Amino acid sequence: MHHQHRNKLYSLFSQTQQSIIFLEGAKVMYRYQTDYEFAFRQESNFWYVSGVNEPDCAAILDIDSKEFHLFVPKRDAQYAVWHGYVKSLDQYHTEYAPDHVHYIDELPEVIKKIQPSMVFCVDPASEKQFRSHQPEIPTNSEALIEALTDARVIKTEDELVCLREASQVNNEAYERVIRHWKPGMYEYQAKAIFTEVQMSHGLQQDAYNGIYASGPNSAILHYVSNTRKTQDGELFLIDAGFEYKGYASDFSRTFPVNGRFTSDQAGVYDAVLTAQKQVIEAIKPGVRMEDLHMMAARTMMEGLLRMGIIKGSLDDIMEANIFALFFPHGLGHFLGLDTHDVGGYPKGVERIDRPGIFYLRARRELEAGMVITIEPGIYFVPAVLEPALQDPTKRMFLNAEKVHQFMGFGGIRIEDDIVVTENGYENLTHIAKERDEIERLMNS
Ligand SMILES: [Mn+2]
């Protein structure tokens, strides 16, 4: 898989320049000034081209000869005492199949031998690092990140296999949590069940800090305290995922703590679900993310209009950006080695300066092989709605009595992971999302 990634990357550079790519791998990170080690996670670009999941490595990719030089740290006996096994160069060779393996202190010598006329680095910091070894060779830190982005945004079949595996385990984790949930359980108990499923499949790296948000917490987009006792009659929103071989899954589901939706919960839920399903049905190559975002916003406003929470004509409501009060984040983002994966804004494309769509993380036409999340949501955030009720341009579209009734309701988000295919899409998320399916799962 990583060999294929290197070839893909080479194909994005012209071949005649005698140039090389220089990449540094991640180092172990510590908690402030202590020796507490955070779990190691390779830097995504380094992992993408090398497949090496160990700290303190570096790589040179020779664009002309297509040779991969792997640089590894020289470990001593002390390292073996504290961290275990010290590999020989031969063992690195067998494990990762580079064309050449060197100890990292041989980096200047190897560069001298290649005599590159240009060195592509991933960012200015890495450029600086390279120049500290070889100040006389010209470097560039824009072309590589652009090429890596172009390569990573379209997934290969092997990458899709990893994404499907991450999703499959995530499907199982969600189903177990929803099936076993009861009022009085704490938010962190959901995280415990979730983690148990993921870990038992060998998935040890979470894709992001999971959100387990009940009641009013469900309106906090990145709530991660997970300490509250879930109450009868409230909703529970979970947004969590783990990585398989570096590839993330990122789902969200919202369900009633007691296993039965109230009619208010059902009304808002159906508005979000209708929007989500409609957008997913529309996915195919050539469709633009910003159009899908607005489609979802409009459908959700239709739902709130039907419930009498907002009032006026749907066109005027959209025109006045009322959707941004209830749907303050983007419809979705690319997914891959990073949860918010690269490629959302191609060069020259800016964010849209309009409330409610500014935070959209991907603005481009979809192409086959892209993987994207679709995650519309409706939230009742007092900090947003209270001032809106005072604002004459917004107040006229809000049913104040109803809006007050929903303060404390929290929010609903439904998120699936979608592969764009030649003819449409493939949905990697298979957890119940129809209300009756969720109720059946929770009461069986
Ligand atoms: Mn997401």
258 Cα–ligand 1 center, Å:
25
**Type of residue numbered 164:** R
223 Cα–ligand 1 center, Å:
13
6 Cα–ligand 1 center, Å:
28
Chain mean pLDDT for the chain: 95
276 Cα–ligand 1 center, Å:
13
339 Cα–ligand 1 center, Å:
7
Give the pLDDT band of residue 14 (cuts 50, 70, 90): confident
**Residue among 168, 372, 343, 377 at smallest CA distance from 285:** 372
Give CA–CA dist 390/383, Å, rounded. 12
Query: Which residue segments constitute the domains of the chain, with CATH numbers given?
Result: 2-153 (3.40.350.10), 157-442 (3.90.230.10)
Q: Are 238 and 190 in contact (CB under 8 A)?
A: yes
The pLDDT, as a whole number, for residue 144 is 95
Give the pLDDT band of residue 372 (cuts 50, 70, 90): very high
| pTM for the model | 0.96
The pLDDT, as a whole number, for residue 297 is 98
415 Cα–ligand 1 center, Å:
7
139 Cα–ligand 1 center, Å:
35
Beta bridge partners of 103: 72
254 Cα–ligand 1 center, Å:
14
251 Cα–ligand 1 center, Å:
7
**For 407-434, how does the pLDDT look when each residue is reduced to its tens digit (9 = 90+)?**
999 999 999 999 999 999 999 999 999 9
Give the pLDDT band of residue 130 (cuts 50, 70, 90): confident
340 Cα–ligand 1 center, Å:
7
331 Cα–ligand 1 center, Å:
9
**For 173-187, how does the pLDDT look when each residue is reduced to its tens digit (9 = 90+)?**
999 999 999 999 999
376 Cα–ligand 1 center, Å:
10
